[in-house]
């Protein structure tokens, strides 16, 4: 059975439990992680990670039946990283380092068996030098693919 809420919660839990060690290597603190909508006014911390299926626009791809007769689907969605309230050059450095850390976290997990999905990979990174015409906000979007059993 496809349970999108469970998928979303699993992604948030995986990021929450595993992101700190990747971010530390790039000199970044753990972000505020939320499943809420991308809300620039509500979330005021210097680094916020938005994980929700509502803002992403999900694309489903039916992979058919695998060898063990388990049907899987690929979900394509986005994770948004928001950086704020620093000098522009510092925010840009933090944004690129944050995107690098999340790429490693999502694309090359230390232990594939700890994933709450069959596979997960980053397919595209988009950076937004100025978010909402505000020079004190920078953002990055990581488009990811997740293979899940249904």
Give the number of other CB atoms < 10 A from CB of residue 18. 17
Main-chain phi, psi angles of 124, to 5 degrees: -155, 145
Instruction: Report yes or no: 74 and 4 within 8 Å, Cβ to Cβ.
Output: no
Confidence band of 28 (pLDDT split at 50, 70, 90)? very high
In words, the CATH class of domain 4-149 is alpha beta
DSSP-assigned beta bridge partners for residue 128 = 139
pTM, 2 dp: 0.81
pLDDT digits 0-9 by tens, 60-78: 666 565 555 566 777 888 8
Tokens of 10: 């699993």
Tokens of 145: 């693919």
Domain coordinates in residue numbering, the chain: 4-149
Tokens of 11: 């992604």
């Amino acid at each position: 059975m496809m349970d999108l809420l469970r998928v979303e919660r699993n992604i948030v839990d995986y990021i929450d439990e595993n992101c700190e060690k990747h971010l530390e290597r790039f000199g970044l603190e753990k972000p505020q992680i939320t499943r809420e909508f991308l809300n620039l006014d509500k979330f005021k911390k210097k680094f916020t990670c938005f994980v929700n299926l509502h803002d992403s626009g999900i694309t489903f791809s039916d992979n058919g039946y695998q060898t063990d007769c388990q049907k899987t689907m690929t979900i394509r969605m986005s994770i948004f990283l928001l950086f704020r309230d620093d000098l522009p050059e510092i925010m840009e450095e933090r944004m690129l380092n944050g995107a690098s850390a999340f790429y490693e976290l999502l694309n090359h997990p230390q232990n594939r068996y700890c994933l709450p999905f069959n596979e997960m990979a980053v397919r595209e990174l988009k950076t937004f030098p100025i978010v909402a015409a505000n020079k004190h906000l920078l953002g990055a979007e990581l488009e990811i693919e997740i293979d899940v059993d249904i």
